[in-house]
Amino acid sequence: MDLWVITLFVALAIRMGTPLLLACLGEIYSERAGVLNLGIEGTMMLGAAIGFIAAYETQSLLFGFLSAMAVGGLLGLIHGVVVVDLRGNQMISGLAITFVGMGLSSLIAHSYVGRVLNVDAPQIRVFEDVPIISAIFCQNVVVYLAYILSIVMWFIVFHTRIGIEIRAVGENPIVAEASGVNVEKIRLICTVLSGAFAGLGGAYISLIDMRSWTDLLTVGKGWVALALVIVSLWNPLFALFISYFFGALYAFQVFLGIDINLAKMIPYAATIPVLAVASKLARRLGIPVLGKPYIREEEALHGV
């Protein structure tokens, strides 16, 4: 095959994979801290809607992305308060966030359906003449941001004190608390972070990938991102590669030339076996207290 066709394919894979990566990175932090945020799908959607409205009205992509992160962080905060402070059910609360996000995005952006955003993101152009490599490095600044964030967030989790604290909070909250770590604060911050990143990922779809808003824009990308968190074994660097691998599966839809409705199944159907392999691996590495509320004053008594 022509090298430049492969280059196009890789570019498309990166375009499709970047929102997955951004959402995945935030969720890695909240799951590392012991909070599962099933609200990613709805948070991405509301981020996409708010980001689009903000960018469309101000003609500023930066403002769009910042608004999306703010609203995503707010949804994360709601989930965090419900789960961490009020000991609500993580599954139910996460699903709630997804539905609230889906519903609000439809209502808020109702009158923006069909409008097109004509603002280009700044591009960084290096290795322009090298096939394949150029697809990776001739990219807009948000993709570069995603690359850099993967590396920075990997470094923070595994090589800094705050990273150790986050992991301690997720793996053994009782011990973490005893050694002077504020479990609730760290869990809350990480959950807000997962929301903000999901908002950012959603805004990437509406501001750069599609440049428009349609109802239910993310069509399951948030759920795929949640699966990729497990597949990446909660490692931001692995997440970088796996997200783009899944971006390639989305890109296949265009290149495969089979029935579009069958092609659209591919990323979802492929997630299941990949998840199966990763889950077997993760059995030993998984975060043990994931999904359980941390109840400080009674934990010592009842060993909840």
Partner 1 sequence: MLRFVIRRREKELSYAVSSAVAILVSIILSLLILLFFRINPIMAFVKGFLGPLITLHGWASIFYNGLILLLCGVGLVIAFRAGVWNIGAEGQLLMGAIAATWVAIYLIPDAPPLVLIPAMFALGFVFGGLWGLIAGILKSELNVNEVLSTMMLNYVAYQLVYYLVMGPWANPLTNYPVSKPFPENAWLLRFSGPLPISLPTLIIGILMVIFTHFLLFNTKLGYEIRAVGSNPDAARAYGISQQKVIVISMFLSGGMAGLAGVHAVAGGLLMPQLRRPEQISRGFGFIAILVAWLAGINPIPVIFTSILMGLIFLAGYVIQVLFARGLGVTNVFTGVMLLVLSIADTFRRYRISIEFHGLRRMRAG
Q: Which stretch binds partner 1 (CB under 8 A): 129-137, 140-148, 158-166, 271-279?
A: 271-279
CB nearer partner 1, residue 15 or residue 221:
221
Give the shortest CB-106-to-partner 1 separation in angstroms: 3
Give the shortest CB-271-to-partner 1 separation in angstroms: 5
Beta-strand ranges (E) seen in 106-152 are 123-124, 139-140
Given a contact cutoff of 8 angstroms between Cβ atoms, the answer to whether 170 and 289 are in contact is yes
CA angle 7, 154, 250 (to 5 degrees): 35
- When binding is defined by CB under 8 A, the residue of 4, 58, 59, 103 that contacts partner 1 is 103
CA angle 130, 12, 19 (to 5 degrees): 120
- When binding is defined by CB under 8 A, the residue of 11, 24, 38, 198 that contacts partner 1 is 38
Q: Which stretch binds partner 1 (CB under 8 A): 24-32, 80-88, 118-126, 198-206?
A: 80-88
One character per residue 180-219, x = contact with partner 1 (rule: CB under 8 A): -----------------------------------xx--x
SS3 38: coil
- When binding is defined by CB under 8 A, the residue of 6, 88, 115, 289 that contacts partner 1 is 88
Q: Does 254 bind partner 1 (CB under 8 A)?
A: no
Q: Does 304 bind partner 1 (CB under 8 A)?
A: no
Q: Which stretch binds partner 1 (CB under 8 A): 52-60, 82-90, 137-145, 173-181?
A: 82-90
- When binding is defined by CB under 8 A, the residue of 211, 220, 287, 299 that contacts partner 1 is 220
Cα distances from 88 to residues 81, 83, 234, 240, in angstroms, run: 9, 5, 24, 32
- Give the residue from 4, 25, 14, 12 showing the smallest Cα distance to 238: 25
What is the rounded CA–CA span in Å between residue 265 and residue 114?
Answer: 26
Beta-strand ranges (E) seen in the chain are 123-124, 139-140
Give the shortest CB-190-to-partner 1 separation in angstroms: 17
Q: Considering only residues 16 through 35, tell me which ones interact with partner 1, judged by CB under 8 A.
A: none
- When binding is defined by CB under 8 A, the residue of 157, 168, 227, 248 that contacts partner 1 is 227
What is the rounded CA–CA span in Å between residue 26 and residue 201?
Answer: 10
Which long-range CB contacts under 8 A does 165-173 form with residues at least 24 apart? 166/29, 166/32, 166/33, 166/190, 167/32, 169/33, 169/34, 170/31, 170/32, 170/33, 170/34, 170/287, 170/289, 170/290, 171/34, 171/287, 171/288, 171/289, 172/288, 172/289, 173/34, 173/289, 173/294, 173/299
- When binding is defined by CB under 8 A, the residue of 6, 62, 77, 81 that contacts partner 1 is 81
- When binding is defined by CB under 8 A, the residue of 30, 43, 105, 206 that contacts partner 1 is 105
Given a contact cutoff of 8 angstroms between Cβ atoms, the answer to whether 210 and 54 are in contact is no
CB nearer partner 1, residue 163 or residue 291:
291
Interface positions with partner 1 (CB under 8 A): 38, 42, 78, 81-82, 85-89, 91-93, 95-108, 110, 113, 215-216, 219-220, 223-224, 226-227, 230, 259, 261-262, 264-265, 268-269, 271-272, 275-276, 279-280, 282-283
